[in-house]
Structure 1
Amino acid sequence: MDTFASGTPSNPGSDDVALLPPESEKLEVEVETESEDYPELTVEEKATRRYVAENPPLSAWLVAIIELCERFSYYGCQGLFQNFIQRPYNGREGPGALGLGQHGATDLGTFFQFWCYVTPIFGAIVADQYLGKYKTIVYFCMVYIVGLIVLFVTSLPLSLQAGSGLGGFICAIILIGLGTGGIKANASPLIAEQYTRNKMAVKTLPSGERVIHDSELTIQRIYMGFYLSVNVGSLSVLATPYMQYKLSWSFSSAYLLCLCMFFVGFVALVLGRKTYVDRPPKGSIITDAFKAL
């Protein structure tokens, strides 16, 4: 059994290990003993024990995986939009699809970015007021997948030749942007909720050293992993343009890669459904603010 302690903040500048606070604050540390295996720390122990981060729970890693896959799909698709919209299909300028010119590409690209920054408001309201964070992410992922399917199908040469490209693209970016908003608003708070310890725990390492598991350091480690997944996912902006130029299907092959990657993340999210800590909805501060107006 672990022994819990509270009251001593960790060093925010450290990733995994932090020193204890000054001597004047060390006496304020309290340790609650859950088992005789971990007796209460002495003042000397409080002054010498290291603060370390715990390993994040499996559910936190699963949330990071869906974030990585979503960012992979988002940046992988967005990196192709300029040429996809601007250049005509089978034009001399290079691979293209819609042929709307530079102004058309800029307008639609700007709308997509704007839409992706507006939809998190809806995602937050749905999660806080109605469904909770996990269910909201699942349902918005489904919308996202439909958008990616529409984007892939309408970017195929047969669809472009039939004139379905523009309508399909507009429908796709609306659905993808809506899905992005539901995930963006809830993935970050959901991953923090996966770590439930609110007190510090004394733990004996395999080496025999007794250390203190610090909740603040653990949250830091979780978010470092979360934003690492975001940055790794953004590397798709290098992969999809390469596929656009090298593969015969051009844009549709790159969009298919984004669809497959996102589906992998969605499967991981669903398979881990029994492991998540998902707090019930308690009302949205956004709707309360509008009521006050």
Structure 2
Amino acid sequence: SISRSEEKDSSSSRPSCLGYPLSIFFIVINEFCERFSYYGMRAVLVLYFKYFLQWDDNLSTAIYHTFVALCYLTPILGALIADSWLGKFKTIVSLSIVYTIGQAIMSVSSINDLTDHNRDGSPDNVSVHIALSMIGLILIALGTGGIKPCVSAFGGDQFEDHQEKQRTRFFSIFYLSINAGSLLSTIITPILRAQECGIHSKQRCYPLAFGVPAALMAVALVVFIVGSRMYKKVQPQGNIMIQVSKCIGFAIKNRFRHRSKEFPKREHWLDWASEKYDKRLIAQTKMVLKVLFLYIPLPMFWALFDQQGSRWTLQATTMDGNFVGYFLFFFPPYIHLQQTVNPILIIIMVPVVDALVYPLIKKCKINFTPLRKITVGMFLASLAFVAAALVQVQIDKTLPVFPAAGQSQIKIINLGTNDATVQFEPKLQSVDVKSMKSTGYMTFETSQLRSLNIASGNKTINAVVKLPGGSRHTLGVKNTATGIDVKWVSLLTFPRYILMFINNLPDAVNVTMGDTSFGILVPLSASNYNLFPGGRQDKIVAIRNSIPCSVTSKAFGFGSAYTIVINRCVGDTLNVTYSEDIPPNTVHMAWQIPQYFILTCAEVVFSVTGLEFSYSQAPSNMKAVLQAGWLLTVAVGNIIVLIVAGASKLSEQWAEYVLFAALLLAVCIIFAVMAYFYTYTDVNEIEAQLDEEEKKQAKKDQDAYEKQSEAVSQM
């Protein structure tokens, strides 16, 4: 073992900078890279589920929150490994390797050309991608959760007892590095995702969006290992969490074993452990359980807070994301609001609240205790979801109505030079379509629609209709010299930003738009569906008989879908017409700012205060116990999302937001009552009393030993 004087000498020989151990800079850089990796991957995760794996909103939300919950359950495992077996340094290195492998697997799983692909660019054998994704997410959850309780504590270990001021500043810098990594990653990874990549088919570049976070995690691991020789490494001393658990278990067991009246009552049920465990451990366990009891209502806050990355992200996909023209600065439309507003507001508001709001409240002679701050945070989070519900109500008014399972929707495009009349049989509806025009979508019960009678010029045609339910269909009609040609195009799913071309020329053409090829289209044929970012304009090029014709496309609104008909190629100018399949989103994403602002205010007064409260009320050797308990509330909160969303069966999203707001408000009232009866603990005073009692007991034991020795010597 190393004596205290030897440890002090070795610590003084470690390099320092500006009064700080040089080793902490490696730890801060490591944390920045790790948070960049985690939040960067998480920023596009729910979009990856929805658009790449083709999962619906409910499944995407469920898997997302299951992953987040797992990330906050594994810190308990990490703390056990670090304190009982490997120590913090080896635990961080080992689990960081697992973490990096998981990120790399996620990047590989999103490679579109890993398997065959469908016409719309989605993977054909999606089970391979799902299996790899799940393996990657499990390894990431194990890695990020396992190192979470170790890194900040390992940074605190680098300081000596006389460096309390530097240690406090380190934690502020550490928290800033977390938010800086989060902010940069949530800006950069959506940009990477917006790129197109793929060999056989073009798709959003998820391999790059996941690959860069994987690379940053590898950098984090290398940086941490480079500083190895500078670190102060505290050896594992046995896990206090295990001791606390055993103490509680013995107290409960002993209490039920001695239920008869002949045994005297104890002041506290934990006092039944005094037969086996010392008074200090029992007193410290009482303090910990007192705080853990207050934690019981807290998961409901996280159930709402973490929906920023799921439900609120999906809400943003139904909104207009073009910020150009709304602000004086350029805000790229593919950077989603929800991925940047929260970290920006956190960086701004934490110092503002600490330096301005709290002092102002204090001047007003309001006793704004930590538990009152937490209560206010819960109320604000509930208010944020009310704001989200109001926004959702406005969005729902603008969303298109898609067909139910037993319905089909049909749109007619007249590609000929004569007007056309289409009769849906048996005499369901008749519609006239002018030359080069189209109808809107008409909804029919699939079981009732049997055939179509089409008349154009002096020609007629009858076509039998057999359409699958729950789908949209476009019918191209063209009067030619030999008769009436028809072309069916079915849209079985409804992804966003779809573009499809129909060749209305007499010759085959090779069509490209921007960097995306739609292939060679023979006359009266349709291309594959392709995905394009909203707000974007590109050059459409059609090569006919080796002669290119081109035209700049219109700007496609967020959430919109169009069928583009290629009509004529005169000189080098291409003539096209647009048929709107899905109208663009009209509710602007800026309307989400109020809900994000309110939720960020809630986070500042809830999360930061909660950590401070937990630290101040925990015994000196049980900070990790309460840290693990605090992280556990986050995991339980994400599990609550899965339970409530699955059990509520609400068809309207705004109603689900109101449900969560009401649940948190009810929990907030319960917590306020619990906080009212809570008595704050002066940990230092209690531990000083315990030290004094131990000294007195030690003196008594010493005196008794001396008297016994003296008696023995006189015999």
TM-score by length of 2: 0.30
The 3-state SS of whatever aligns with 1:132 is helix
Structure 2 match to 1:136: 91
Amino acid at match of 2:50: Q
Structure 1 match to 2:176: 228
Separation of aligned partners in 2, 1:278 and 1:144? 22
Same amino acid, percent of matched pairs:
33
Separation of aligned partners in 2, 1:290 and 1:216? 30
Q: Which has the larger radius of gyration?
A: 2
The answer to which structure has the higher helix fraction is 1
Separation of aligned partners in 2, 1:291 and 1:132? 21
Separation of aligned partners in 2, 1:150 and 1:221? 37
Give the CA deviation at 1:283. Answer: 0.9
Give the CA deviation at 1:267. Answer: 0.6
The alignment status of 1:158 with 2:113, answered yes or no, reads yes
Give the CA deviation at 1:176. Answer: 0.2
Separation of aligned partners in 2, 1:182 and 1:68? 17
Once superposed, which parts of structure 1, at least 4 consecutive aligned residues long, lie more than 6 Å away?
none
Amino acid at match of 1:223: F
Match of 1:56 among 15, 20, 23: 20
Q: Is the 1:56–1:221 contact (alpha carbons within 8 Å) kept by the matching residues of 2?
A: no
1:11-22 matches, cutoff 5 A: none
Structure 1 match to 2:41: 77
Structure 1 match to 2:197: 248
Structure 2 match to 1:37: none
Structure 1 match to 2:74: 119
Separation of aligned partners in 2, 1:58 and 1:80? 35
- Consecutive unaligned residues in structure 2, runs of 5 or more: 1-16, 116-122, 199-204, 250-715
1:21-40 matches, cutoff 5 A: none
Give the CA deviation at 1:246. Answer: 2.5
Match of 1:281 among 236, 245, 248: 236
Q: Is the 1:54–1:218 contact (alpha carbons within 8 Å) kept by the matching residues of 2?
A: no
1:104-115 matches, cutoff 5 A: 104-115=59-70
Separation of aligned partners in 1, 2:41 and 2:83? 29
Structure 1 match to 2:188: 239
Separation of aligned partners in 1, 2:28 and 2:80? 22
The 3-state SS of whatever aligns with 2:230 is coil
Give the CA deviation at 1:270. Answer: 0.9
Amino acid at match of 2:131: G
Tell me the C-alpha RMSD between the 2 structures: 1.5
Give the CA deviation at 1:158. Answer: 2.1
Deviations 1:71-116 (A, max 9, x none): 10110000111110012xxxxxxxxx11111011101100011001
- Consecutive unaligned residues in structure 1, runs of 5 or more: 1-52, 88-96, 200-214
Amino acid at match of 2:175: Y
Separation of aligned partners in 2, 1:167 and 1:238? 28
The alignment status of 1:145 with 2:100, answered yes or no, reads yes
The answer to which structure has the higher strand fraction is 2
The 3-state SS of whatever aligns with 2:176 is helix
Give the CA deviation at 1:189. Answer: 0.5
Give the CA deviation at 1:54. Answer: 5.1
Structure with the larger RCO, 1 or 2 (CA within 8 Å, 6+ apart): 1
Amino acid at match of 2:164: E
Amino acid at match of 2:63: L
Query: Aligned pair count?
Result: 216
The alignment status of 1:183 with 2:131, answered yes or no, reads no
Separation of aligned partners in 1, 2:19 and 2:174? 13
The alignment status of 1:170 with 2:170, answered yes or no, reads no
Question: Compared with structure 1, are the counterparts of its residues 289 and 54 closer, same or farther at alpha carbon in structure 2 (3 Å cutoff)?
Answer: same
Amino acid at match of 1:174: I
Q: Is the 1:247–1:253 contact (alpha carbons within 8 Å) kept by the matching residues of 2?
A: no
Separation of aligned partners in 1, 2:232 and 2:197? 45
Deviations 1:235-290 (A, max 9, x none): 20111011111242511101111011111111111111111111000111222233
Separation of aligned partners in 2, 1:246 and 1:159? 18
